[in-house]
Amino acid sequence: MDTLPSNAPRHRANPSPKPHSWRNWAGNVTARPARVVTPASVEELRAVVRRAAEDGLPVKAVGSGHSFSTTAATDGVLVRPDRLSGIRAIDPGAGTVTVEAGTRLKTMNLALAQHGLSLRNMGDIMEQTVAGATSTGTHGTGRDSGAIAAQLRGLELVTADGSLLMCSATRNPEVFAAARVGLGALGVVSALTFAVEPLFLLAAHEEPMTFDTVTARFDELHAHNDHFEFYWFPHTDNCTTLRNNRTPGPHAPLGRLRAWFEDEFLANNVFQALSSVGRAIPSAVPAIARITSRGLSARTYTDIPYKVFTSPRRVRMIEMEYAVPREAVLDVLRELKAMIERSELRIGFPVEVRTTPGDDIALSTASGRDSAYVAVHVYRGMPHRQYFAEAERIFVAHEGRPHWGKLHTRDASHLANAYPRFEEFTALRDRLDPDRRFTNAYLRRVLGD
């Protein structure tokens, strides 16, 4: 293996003077680590891992806290990425950008746009850190373009003994194949290199459709659009569809006032207020769903990628999402709709449906198969256990794989059968982290111990 020597000075990397609590963005996960550190360099990060080993403490890195699962929770050493961030290098000739692990996707997207470059695809928010987003399998939607981790061309990994492992398709390729979606189980990612391409324009078309129309046309809409997704509003037959396609232009962005009114005022402020009403008066949820599902009219605009793919999401909720084989998604949706309609559930958040092509990453939810993603959400503070349990039963019956950063109840015995390369990943984990320096309760459940 190609490693750098682990002989750096043993900095303390600003350990917190007393235990702190940590809470994720949604507020459903808390942790009380023994210490919190904020390394400002790779050398400091390596020293953190070595000192944790001396003290017999596990190590977990957190990103922006946008995961709903306990993947980053620890009672050991919590590594915050705040100071391990920034753009290392942008190489237009090679078509790559290298960034520190704690860099926010927003920071990277803005820097790339200033250099006339862009990622090929991205998720629907950009508040996450690059390492957190890739490690948990964050994805957008695309007929031919996959998750964010599928766009990686290299990464640096601080392993259990404090060594720095350089990984790519040609350097430690077996580690690269797994660590792109590594769940923090193989080490702490310190930097990532992404493939980028010249900045392009996307023509965005958003249009309401009925549930029956969008499901009847789903295969056509998926095949004929670069990026297609839709939202179905439970308790209604209403959907909102989003079609994004590359175009030569011209550049025709939304007006500032309309963008603020629809994407901030309606989609965040008004939806927040209506969700609070639904939490206080659950019987009002179906009526609220009818209102929110008709709140936005059709619109068309053309802009650079990150301004089309991403939008502000400020209404706090919790989420479960599963990837199913793409050919199974319509059956899944119909069963989900029937389940909600025959139950007494009151669901105020829309169900989101996206797709990606298969990839070659061991623990990617799209590993080895074209996939469709179905995400269910509830407003923070609303009951969710029955809804998520019933939805998960449907997802699992259709060979679903849970998103690693979202709520689910699957364990290693189930996941070993769901992922054809699961044992490849766990064998690599045994080799890189035999003492389980990077474990926590979540990894013990989903990977075994």
Other beta carbons less than 10 A from residue 134's beta carbon: 28
Q: What is the structure's pLDDT at 19?
A: 53
Sheet holding 59-61, edge to edge: 35-37, 77-79, 59-61
Angstrom distance (rounded) from CA 179 to CA 156: 10
Q: Is 14 left (phi over 0), alpha (psi -120 to 50) or beta?
A: left
Q: To which H or E segment does residue 231 belong? A: strand 227-232
Structure tokens at 310: 């991403």
Q: What is the DSSP letter of 196?
A: -
Q: pLDDT tens-digit profile of 54-73?
A: 999 999 999 999 999 999 99
What residue type is assigned to position 62 of the chain?
V
SS3 207: strand
Q: Is 33 left (phi over 0), alpha (psi -120 to 50) or beta?
A: beta
Angstrom distance (rounded) from CA 206 to CA 310: 14
Residue 405 phi, psi dihedral angles, 5° rounding: -95, 10
pTM exceeds 0.85:
yes
Low-confidence ranges of the chain (pLDDT < 50): 1-12, 16-17
Angstrom distance (rounded) from CA 283 to CA 277: 10
Handedness of CA 80, 83, 84, 89 (dihedral sign): positive
Q: What is the structure's pLDDT at 12?
A: 47
Angstrom distance (rounded) from CA 354 to CA 366: 12
Q: 417 Cβ partners below 8 Å, 6+ apart?
A: none
What residue type is assigned to position 246 of the chain?
R
Q: 39 Cβ partners below 8 Å, 6+ apart?
A: 11, 13, 14, 45, 47, 48, 79, 83, 84
Identify the bridge partners of residue 189 per DSSP, sorted by sequence position: 157
Q: Is 157 left (phi over 0), alpha (psi -120 to 50) or beta?
A: beta
Structure tokens at 168: 């790519």
Q: Cβ distance 242 to 232 under 8 Å?
A: no
Q: 19 Cβ partners below 8 Å, 6+ apart?
A: 32, 33, 34, 35
Structure tokens at 77: 């050493």
Closest CA to 407 of 445, 436, 440: 445
Helix, strand, coil % (nearest 5) of the chain? 35, 25, 40
SS3 56: coil
Structure tokens at 222: 């998926």
Q: What is the structure's pLDDT at 6?
A: 40
Q: What is the structure's pLDDT at 10?
A: 42
Angstrom distance (rounded) from CA 202 to CA 306: 10
